[in-house]
């Protein structure tokens, strides 16, 4: 890409990513309000708003941000698998998007459906049940993951991957082959955490039906 086109695509990607992060922060605020409020209207409105924000803001932004990030990586010198920080960011983004879709159409949709069925004027806390706590936890974790992705974009740790070193004319540079022990530990921890979250959502979704 020319520098001007690269700046334009990067701007689009940053705007979409910031929008994704901001909407998740709003979702977290609503989930806390729904869990802690003693006002039936606030609680009902919080869960219904979470469903709307998830469906029509968070899901589209996550998909668009993922697509623009992949395009930005493939069309720029960074590549998608040439640097560890890009590869980890890509992995976190894709898995976060998949978990978001699973989360939206199981826990969030179920909570919204339950509060909409509650009798008018009653506090639908019992109808929501443990989903209220789960939504707060999931939203907080999603926000932390997005912040971690942002940190990776700024600090760019771990250097080049073996593939990246092969593709680089500067493969002999000692700085191009740093220790990747921290990267491997972080990757294993993320994989275990995401596997547990998927299993939890699948079990929860099965229980709801």
**What is the value of pTM for the model shown?**
0.80
Residues in CB range of 124: below 8 A, 6 or more apart:
40, 43, 44, 47, 114, 115, 118
- Give 101-122 pLDDT, tens digit per residue: 999 999 999 999 999 988 877 8
- Please report the pLDDT score of residue 195 as a whole number: 64
Query: What are the residue ranges spanned by the domains of the chain?
Result: 3-208
Distances (CA, A) of 56 to 23, 45, 61, 109, 187: 11, 16, 9, 13, 31
| DSSP letter, residue 174 | G
Sign of the CA dihedral running 129, 29, 48, 123: positive
- Please report the pLDDT score of residue 150 as a whole number: 94
- Please report the pLDDT score of residue 176 as a whole number: 42
Cβ neighbourhood burial of 61 (10 Å; 0-12, 13-18, 19+): buried
- Give 6-30 pLDDT, tens digit per residue: 899 999 999 999 999 999 999 999 9
89-93, 176-180, 183-187: range with highest mean pLDDT: 89-93
Task: Say yes or no to pLDDT of 77 above 70.
Answer: yes
- Please report the pLDDT score of residue 47 as a whole number: 96
């Amino acid at each position: 890409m020319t520098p001007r086109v690269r700046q334009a695509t990067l701007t689009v990607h940053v705007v979409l990513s910031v929008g994704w992060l901001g909407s998740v922060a709003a979702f977290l605020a609503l989930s806390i309000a729904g869990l802690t409020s003693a006002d039936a209207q606030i609680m009902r409105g919080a869960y219904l708003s979470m469903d709307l924000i998830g469906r029509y803001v968070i899901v589209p932004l996550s998909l668009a941000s993922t697509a623009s990030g992949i395009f930005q990586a493939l069309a720029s010198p960074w590549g998608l698998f040439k640097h560890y920080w890009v590869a980890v960011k890509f992995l976190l983004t894709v898995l976060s998007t998949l978990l978001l879709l699973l989360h939206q159409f199981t826990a969030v949709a179920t909570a919204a459906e339950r509060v909409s069925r509650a009798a008018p004027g009653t506090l639908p806390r019992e109808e929501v049940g443990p989903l209220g706590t789960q939504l707060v936890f999931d939203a907080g974790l999603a926000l932390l993951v997005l912040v971690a992705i942002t940190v990776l974009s700024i600090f760019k740790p771990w250097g080049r991957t073996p593939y990246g070193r092969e593709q680089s004319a500067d493969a002999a540079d000692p700085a191009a082959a740093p220790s990747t022990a921290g990267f491997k530990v972080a990757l294993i921890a993320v994989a275990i955490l995401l596997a547990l979250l998927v299993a939890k959502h699948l079990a929860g979704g099965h229980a709801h039906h």
